[in-house]
């Protein structure tokens, strides 16, 4: 399976048994997105910039399914550092408010992320009728 990156650059080949998104009825379950550029390198200086990259990737995935960030009903967020929460939260809110005034439910936890240099990972559940 391939997906286009938000900038419309080179498609990213996904690993077997991994889907960037799975549709079930009117729900889209988007796998955790990390702040990758089109070469799968971590991009973005600081957690705010990396949060925007993650949400841009999610938005692009949802757009391919006829949805967008306004359709997000639940988000799960992993932060590398607890100290980054306030900066992350400001960037997250700004990005989502550009699409909707309805805040999704959200869980945010501190975790050791699998990719060196990544400060945040975000996965979402979206619903077609939520926008």
Q: Report the pLDDT averaged over residues 80-102.
A: 97
Nearest to 30 by CA among 127, 129, 95, 107: 127
CA distances for 107 relative to 73, 85, 104, angstroms: 12, 12, 10
**Banded model confidence at residue 130, pLDDT cuts 50, 70, 90:** confident
pLDDT at 8: 42
**pTM given for the model:** 0.86
Residue 66 has pLDDT above 60, yes or no: yes
H or E element in which residue 126 lies:
strand 120-127
- Residue-range domains of the chain with CATH: 2-130 (3.30.1330.40)
Q: Report the pLDDT averaged over residues 74-88.
A: 98
- Measured in whole angstroms, the distance separating CA 1 from the mean position of its chain's CA atoms is 18
pLDDT at 22: 94
Q: Does 85 or 5 have the greater pLDDT score?
A: 85
Residue 29 has pLDDT above 50, yes or no: yes
pLDDT at 121: 98
Round the average pLDDT of the chain to a whole number and report it: 89
């Amino acid at each position: 399976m391939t997906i286009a990156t938000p900038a419309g650059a080179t498609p990213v080949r996904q690993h077997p048994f991994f889907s960037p998104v799975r549709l079930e009825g009117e729900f889209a379950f988007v796998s955790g997105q990390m702040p990758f550029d089109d070469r799968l390198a971590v991009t973005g200086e600081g957690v705010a910039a990396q949060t925007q990259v993650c949400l841009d990737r999610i938005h692009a995935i949802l757009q391919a399914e006829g949805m967008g960030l306004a359709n997000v009903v639940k988000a799960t967020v992993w932060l590398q550092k607890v100290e980054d929460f306030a900066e992350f939260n400001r960037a997250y809110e700004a990005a989502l408010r550009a699409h909707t005034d309805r805040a999704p439910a959200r869980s945010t936890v501190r975790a050791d992320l699998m990719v060196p240099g990544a400060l945040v990972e975000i996965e979402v559940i979206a619903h077609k009728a939520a926008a």
